Amino acid sequence: MTIADLRPDGAVLVDLGPVAQLRAGRLLLRLPQLVIGLYLFGASLAMMVRAGVGTAPWDVLHLGLIRHLPLSLGQVVIALSFVVLLAWIPLRERPGIGTIANALLVGLSADATLLLLDAPEAMAARVALMVGGVVLCGFASALYIGAQFGRGPRDGLMTGLSRRTGWSLRAVRTALELGVVLVGILLGGVAGLGTIVYALGIGPLTQALLPWCLVRLDVED
Q: What is the structure's pLDDT at 33?
A: 97
Neighbours of 219 (CB within 10 A): 10
Q: What is the structure's pLDDT at 219?
A: 61
DSSP state letter for 15: -
Q: With a cut of 70, which residues of the chain have pLDDT below it?
A: 1-10, 219-221
pTM confidence score: 0.91
Q: What is the structure's pLDDT at 127?
A: 97
Q: What is the structure's pLDDT at 10?
A: 58
Q: What is the structure's pLDDT at 162?
A: 87
| Burial category of 67 from C-beta neighbours within 10 Å (exposed 0-12, middle 13-18, buried 19 and up) | exposed
Q: What is the structure's pLDDT at 112?
A: 97
Q: What is the structure's pLDDT at 129?
A: 97
CA distances from 133 to 46, 72, 112, 120, 174 (A): 8, 19, 15, 14, 21
